Structure 1
Amino acid sequence: MPAHARPRRRAALAAACSFALAAPLLAAATPAGATAPDPRVDWGACDDDILATVPDGERDRYSCADHEVPLDHADPEGERISIALLRRAADDPDARIGSAFVNPGGPGNAGRVLAVNAANHLDEEVLDSFDIVGFDPRGTGASTPFSCFTSDEEAAGVFGRLIRTPVNEEEVSGSLAGYRSYAEHCAANAGPLIEHMSTRDVAHDLDALRAAVGEERITYVGQSYGTLIGATYANLYPERVRAMVFDASVDPDLRTNDGLEQDRQRAGAHEEALDAFLTACAEAGDACAFGSGDPHAKWDALRERLHQGPIDVPGGAPLTADGLITGVAYGLFSQAGLGQLAAQLQGAHDAMTGATTEGAADPRALLTAEAPLGAAGPDAEPSPHLFSDPHFAFNCSDKPFDHAQGDVPALVEEWEAEMPTFSRFQLFGEAALCPLWPAASPDPYTGPWELSTEIPVLVLGGVHDPATPYAFSERVVEQLGAARLVTVDGFGHCFTGLSEAGDALVSDYLLDLRVPEEGTVVELDAPPFS
């Protein structure tokens, strides 16, 4: 049945990814350093905790496995590690096309949960026709772990010193010292896995998993950092790609060749998204809780006040610059959550001025224990903190930094002249640690990126994405040999499941390999401040 005639059924959304006439399969050469196909995945029952959100009557469609791959794909007979997988079986076996791999980004987030929550992101026709396969990339989740510490207490002693947005000399020097200690722990405790935590390694793992589930070509949906996995795979194995969706794409060339400039542009994207949010809030008037007066001036006053010290909030702990700015950075990830973000900002402003405004909310809720890592998709597994060992391992393996750690305070001063809110937030992450990273030769894939897949990659890029700016999506389309950009006119980070029009395009692409027309623009279903 042609795509336009197929009745579309929408899956229920819980949050903010074959081909009927298959083309002949090309012979697949094995790139240098890659492995020959492994034996098939041995699927079995999943532990109850990973299926906690799945109704009892639906759990029989899920299965799990631990599959071994080489630690070093250049040494396939050497040490092996385990990759944890979860499969959600196709709802209609008669309509089954194959397996579709999914990844929620991070980096450093477990990925199996995206398969559990597949109905939040993919139309029911896709769930009818594909086994959805999520995997915890090496070092993460239930896969062989990457850890720099010998105990939780040891980790807490270091992570407790790291402030994402330090604003005074004591916080800055303490965070830099904490990162130095962190690097020392990684050198002492991480073991041989530290040399094999690049996205190239993950792409080789993914190809082994593709073969192990019985697919000659891969169908893949990646969010955020997951798009770098996809871009790397597509250039290592272009003839093995059936279809790929990149949701909120990174710029592969920039990320793997100039880590500091990538971070500077990400800080700028956060600034742009915040400015657009404040402008939209002013235009919304009473519909936006932060809209009375001048939202831009109110925000500037809040930021400057918090740089002087915490703000007392009735009934609990004071609000810090780190809490507010880090919370806003992640609050901009969801268009549907902008109304709540506005209410929390008004609560912060009330605490600063002593006012009481109807509709204001407790600003301390901005930063919760479930804030996402890095630039993860909305269904990435919650983390107990904003830092994690595999998060830094992937980033420090992939992103080159030529500066010394001691240059970071001067970079803050330079960047803040242009980007006053999010420069510290961005610089006190990888830029403060990766110059010290103890891996000797992690061997990232740095290009070329122009190898063509038979079917163009489908790229969804949001115009107000704070984590992977729209320019990144434009550039990945330019870099890849074949790709098509769909513009998402809205706020947030990662968009599958949030736009009926966009999801229809994704479904037609995954099911029938129909590529949208150039210049296609879609909107998100939930308007801001709704």
Structure 2
Amino acid sequence: MRRSSRIRRVGVVAAIAVALSLALSGCFPAQHAPDTSTPRSEKVSAALAPFYGQHLDWRACGTFQCAKAKVPLDWSDPSSGSVELALIRHYATGKRLGSLLVNPGGPGGSGVDFIRDSLSYAVDKKLQEHYDIVGFDPRGVGASTAVKCYDAKKMDEYLFGITPGQRGSDQWIQSSTRQAAAFASACKQNTGALLGQVGTTSAARDLDVLRAVLGDAKLNYLGYSYGTLLGATYAGLYPKNVGRLVLDGALDPASSSFDVNLGQSKGFEQELTAYVTSCLKRKGCPFSGSVDDALSTISHLLASLDASPIRNSDGRELGANTMVTAIIYPLYDSSAWSLLDDLFQSVMSGSAKVAFSLADGYYERNSNGTYSDNSTEAFTAINCLDYPSDANPATMRKQATELTQAAPVIGPYMSYGDIGCAVWPYKPTRTPAPIHATGAAPILVVGTTGDPATPYQWAVNLSHELESGHLVTYHGHGHTAYNKSNSCVNDAVDAFLVDGTVPQKDPEC
């Protein structure tokens, strides 16, 4: 399963277009608005009262305000301990409607970093005018009480090491299982009890505490990518507390881990095909012949890297898995496709430099070998609690065949993903199923027809599953649709969040 988040798109675009630095800058007016986060009086159990009734200590952090909130470590036993959630807030610049919580996706993406580093990319000026924009790091993520597994050196080995044996063979599966088990053991040892409590259901319950301590009667929320699953889960748990929810780049809560892998394989294969089609029309394209010829060339290139990796100047070896990551990263946004020209030209000439640069961007790895955040560790920990796994070799091989048939280039490298979670020290806490959120206020679901990471059909499914779901379709490419370049999408989302206007029908942007 590939992580899918709005924040990843920021990294891709920033890597190729310095002109976007204005949108990503943290230069916003100093904030002197009064504290609006008086907690609401909520009817909750005695064990939950300290969490719902807490007062947040907001302090200046640059041009924003930051705080930490406490939530139960274990929602089934609130008295057993607590974890901290990191928050960042940008005050409404005009007539305030309340707080708008924003999640960039992942799972594992930092909402604090997202708002601090790219406020005007996360939300447009109209939402900044009417809402306190609040970013948060979910439990296990970033500056909140976090999942910890490996140091940087071991993370390099885990992410970029070459697995011995032919892909899918007994030797390869056994070796992959040992690697996954070692990683899981380190996560348990270095994280402790939190590791079994970072699932989306617990994180959604945390949102209700944040709603209350921010002083809001209803939750107003903008979730991108994985953030849509978090938001939909909240709506299912607390339908009467739903305010105005927008879910952009939707996951389908009913999808299994294999369904997700299959959907993403098809999505990235579709975008890779679109890239190749465009490339062949340009001068300097690294491919020639037909689209099928180019895709076949990429398949053979990946197979050759599996058989004979290319050593990078820092000693890491470029295998097919890392190459697929390097390919997928620019596919999140069509404006980054030119990076694929450089990638394929570089690798076909025997250099791994561009490939590792892109893969490092995807994994938030710095040039000095350190990692900027724990998003990779959190991604695995959250997914392993959210999706039951089946690592039976016969099942995985059957699924690998199906993935390869559906997406001949990408599919083989999206296979065998259940190995990591099959050895996880904690059992899943969520069973994939439709979420209806019966009784909830209207919920806006935004889907992009050419979204490779969260395929459009998932948005269609979620909008139908939610009793009060309303679909907004964007006909275009890229991951997520709001606040990009389509005024139709922005108009629909802003009218909903600011005025409460529900589209009478899909605007088909």
Query: What is the TM-score of this pair, normalised by structure 2?
Result: 0.80
Pick from 41, 44, 66: which aligns with 2:56? Answer: 41
1:456 aligns with 2:416: no
Q: Distance in 2 between matches of 1:155 and 1:513?
A: 46
Match of 1:266 in 2: 264
Hey, what does 1:512 align to over in structure 2?
Answer: 499
Show structure 1 runs of 5+ residues with no match.
1-10, 16-26, 47-58, 355-360, 374-381, 523-530
Q: Which residue of 2 aligns with 1:111?
A: 111
Contact 2:448–2:475 (CA<8 Å) still a contact in 1? yes
Deviation of residue 185 (structure 1)? 2.9
**Quick check: 2:68–2:85 contact (8 Å CA) kept in 1?**
yes
Match of 2:361 in 1: 370
Corresponding residue of 1:390: 378
Deviations 1:111-160 (A, max 9, x none): 212222221132211111111101111111011112235x5555555455
Q: Which amino acid is 2:498 matched to?
A: L
The aligned counterpart of 1:465 is 451
Measured against aligned partners, the alpha-carbon deviations of 1:270-329 in whole angstroms (never above 9, x if no partner) come to 2222223333444xx227835753243123113213313458699998854333322111
2:99 equivalent to 1:99:
yes
Write out aligned runs for 1:242-391 (5 A): 242-254=243-255, 258-282=256-280, 285-286=281-282, 289-290=285-286, 292-309=288-305, 310=308, 320-349=319-348, 351=349, 363-364=354-355, 367-371=358-362, 388-391=376-379
Q: For the residues of structure 1 that align with 2:48 and 2:461, how far apart are their CA atoms? A: 27
The alpha-carbon distance between structure 1 residues 424 and 294, as it changes in their structure 2 partners (threshold 3 A), is same
Identify the structure with bigger relative contact order (alpha carbons < 8 Å, sequence gap 6+): 1
> Is 1:494 aligned to residue 480 of structure 2?
yes
CA RMSD of aligned residues (A): 3.6
1:165 to 1:40, Cα distance in 2 relative to 1, 3 A = farther
1:156–1:12 Cα change, 3 Å: closer
Size of the aligned set, in residue pairs, is: 463
* Paired residues of 1:456 and 1:483 also in contact (CA < 8 A): yes
Residue 77 of structure 2 aligns with which residue? 75
Which digits, 9 at most, give the CA deviation of each residue in 1:30-57, with x for residues without a partner?
A: 69997762313221122xxxxxxxxxxx
Q: Is the 8 A contact 2:141 2:375 kept in 1?
A: no
How many Å apart are 1:397 and its aligned residue?
Answer: 0.4
Match of 2:7 in 1: none
| 1:222 counterpart residue number | 223
Q: Whole-Å Cα distance in 1 between the matches of residues 328 and 295 of structure 2?
A: 13
Counterparts in 2 of 1:414 and 1:503: CA distance versus 1, 3 Å? closer
Q: Is the 8 A contact 2:295 2:409 kept in 1?
A: no
Cα separation, 2, equivalents of 1:31 and 1:419: 50
Say whether the 8 Å CA contact 1:187–1:438 is kept in structure 2. yes
Partner of 2:52, secondary structure, is coil
Matched, 1:433 2:420: yes
> How do 1:48-67 and structure 2 match up within 5 A?
59-60=62-63, 62-67=64-69
Alignment check: 8 A CA contact 2:66 2:89 kept:
yes
Q: Kindly indicate whether the alpha-carbon contact (under 8 Å) linking 1:164 and 1:326 is maintained by their aligned counterparts in 2.
A: no
Q: Indicate whether 1:13 and 2:13 are aligned.
A: no
Which whole-Å CA distance do the structure 2 matches of 1:91 and 1:288 have between them?
47
Letter in 2 for 1:306: L
Residue 69 of structure 1 and its aligned partner are, at CA, apart by: 0.9
CA contact (8 A) 2:387 2:432 kept: no
CA shift, 1:415, in A, is: 2.9
Where structure 2 has 5 or more consecutive residues not aligned to the other structure, the ranges are: 1-20, 26-40, 365-369
Paired residues of 2:168 and 2:397 also in contact (CA < 8 A): no
Q: Given the superposition, is the C-alpha separation of residues 496 and 139 from structure 1 closer, same or farther in structure 2, using an over 3 Å criterion?
A: same
Secondary structure in 2 aligned to 1:370?
A: helix
More deviation, 513-522/81-90: 513-522
